[in-house]
Amino acid sequence: MGRMRAAVPSDASGSDAPTIDLLIRPTGELTVKGPRTVPVFLRALRSAVRDALKRAGLRPRVRLAHRRLEVRIPVPDGGVDAARHLAREALARVFGVGSFSFVTASSRADLDEIVAMATRHARDRVRGRRYAVRCRRAGRHPFRSTDVERAVGAALNDGATVDLDDPDEVVHLQVVDRRALLHGPRIAGAGGLPVGTGGRALVLLSGGYDSVVAAWALLKRGVAVDLVHFRLAGRSDERRALQVAKLLSDRYASGSRPELHAVDFTDVVADLRRHGDDGHAQLLLKRRMLRAADAVADRLERTEAEARAAGRSRHRWARIDALVTGEALAQVSSQTLANLRALDGAAERPVLRPLLAMDKTEIIERAEAIGTAALSARVRETCGIAAGRVETRAEPRRVDDLEGALDHALLQRAVQDAVRWPLRSLRAEELTLPYLQVDRLPDRAVVLECSAGPRAAGGGPPGSVHLPVEAIAERRHELDPDRTYVTTCPFGTRSAHAAEILQQLGFDAYAFRGGTGALEAHLERRAVEAAQATAPDA
């Protein structure tokens, strides 16, 4: 990387462009691993750091130096302060980073030059204050770290007071091989291990607090994750899951390329309700989800193997070694030890439950800390399908027998039709438009006519309810959270806004594409088709 310059404006000649330089220290857990393992982990960390900074809009150069990372970033148009803020925010969420510091200045690893550099850049900072000098060293040098501390301390002592126990200011120095760095205080990193060093898993993601925190916990332990979401009650739930998955990916999955696979489970749930036992319904649904997740993982492994064989590898981890859920012991009646035992036989892969011993308060606090709580709070609970008492001590054989009566072809078809969403390349409009509009009226849906002001007599489709966009928040208590709503207006503009508001409030809501005229035409066609279907043969 060459000599590192302080992040200052270039001189008048323009020969030296300003840079921001950083020193990154891996977590202690990383550096104590075996001599063959450490380089692998450090390379993964370098890739993750580079990825995080690039996605923050910076152009970093990252190199390894004695189990540390040194980063140089050209200052962009926004200026030094803005770039430092972007770098700090990005690095604070990279797993494997123990701490990092901004470098103030550098010199050759010569004792006299180190003293001169420290004096020039730290004298004003320590004047009239109590201070200490701390030096760390890596490599072979004709001096010790204590020699540096004493020499720099003596040079700064004029007008200041040394206090090793309780200093107001600390002068930090790092000497690595032939270079010495003067840097600022340590900023805590995210800890954990670099993503990808712990293999790969598939997380069952509803989008609620539990499953998101479970995915985050695996990422922190170095496991690259893909996600599978089961759509149980409308596409608006899939949209919310995608939003929180996108946030999780952008913030915490640096160095990897997570995907979300959306599986429509509507027919599977309907089959379960027809043939399942109500007391075991929750367990049967979870078993179907685990079987489907296992099948999705099989498909992903085959896809990766085919890509590698064809020379189209995307540098992803081919094997998926585990499934992950957000289950916590006794959080709900279906999550007892006996029931968890009855679930595990549904999947060939082990099922990991990183939140097993956490309570709901702890999980929500963690979601708030990592920034996903606000989105998860909008996710509706849709997997509660049991109408009566839920079995809390299920017998595995009994659950096996009940599941055997279900239609396995429906499960296979749902997996085959799964929709793949590459989270890193997902655009904002993809999180909105496909989930706001429909071109057919779902069964038992309530039509909301959203024109402004009082509705004229006969306005809107027959049976529709008039609810202006401006009144939605005030009248939300009039709406049934278990029903699906389709909004409409003459031109289809206000209805899209209304559907967006309703979805944000937690309702399963959509706008009919094309407005009221298109909806009325659809209803007429449906009436004609129904009449033809029931008419006696000629």
Nearest Cα to Cα of residue 324 among 355, 296, 362, 285: 355
The torsion defined by the Cα of 48, 52, 54 and 56, in degrees rounded to 10, comes to 180
Q: What does the block give as tokens for 65?
A: 């130096």
Angle at 360 between CA 356 and CA 365, to 5 degrees: 110
Distance from C-alpha of 392 to C-alpha of 409, rounded to nearest angstrom: 28
Alpha carbon separation from 434 to 75, 165, 385 (Å, rounded): 39, 61, 26
Polymer length in residues for the chain: 538
- Do the Cβ atoms of 448 and 464 come closer than 8 Å? yes
Distance from C-alpha of 246 to C-alpha of 410, rounded to nearest angstrom: 29
Helices (H), 276-395: 281-309, 337-344, 360-370, 373-376
Distance from C-alpha of 361 to C-alpha of 259, rounded to nearest angstrom: 29
Distance from C-alpha of 218 to C-alpha of 352, rounded to nearest angstrom: 9
Distance from C-alpha of 214 to C-alpha of 328, rounded to nearest angstrom: 10
Alpha-carbon 422 to chain mean position: 12
> For strand 61-65 and strand 68-74, is the pairing parallel, antiparallel, or unpaired?
antiparallel
Active site residue: 135, 383, 450, 489, which one? 489
- Do the Cβ atoms of 186 and 101 come closer than 8 Å? yes
Distance from C-alpha of 52 to C-alpha of 35, rounded to nearest angstrom: 26
Q: Is 489 a catalytic residue?
A: yes
Query: What SS3 class is residue 254?
Result: coil
Distance from C-alpha of 250 to C-alpha of 438, rounded to nearest angstrom: 29
Query: What SS3 class is residue 150?
Result: helix
User: Which residues have C-beta within 8 Å of that of residue 401, sequence separation ≥ 6?
Assistant: none
Angle at 318 between CA 315 and CA 320, to 5 degrees: 135
Q: What is the b/e burial string over 41-52, where b = at least 16 CB atoms within 10 angstroms of the residue's CB?
A: bbebbbbbbbbb
Q: Residue 147: which H helix or E strand, with range?
A: helix 145-156
Q: Hey, what amino acid is at 508?
A: D
| Three-state secondary structure of 493-505 | CHHHHHHHHHHHC
Distance from C-alpha of 502 to C-alpha of 488, rounded to nearest angstrom: 13
In the block, tokens 């529709």 appear at 464
- Do the Cβ atoms of 8 and 15 come closer than 8 Å? no
Distance from C-alpha of 151 to C-alpha of 110, rounded to nearest angstrom: 12
Q: Hey, what amino acid is at 27?
A: T
Active site residues: 489
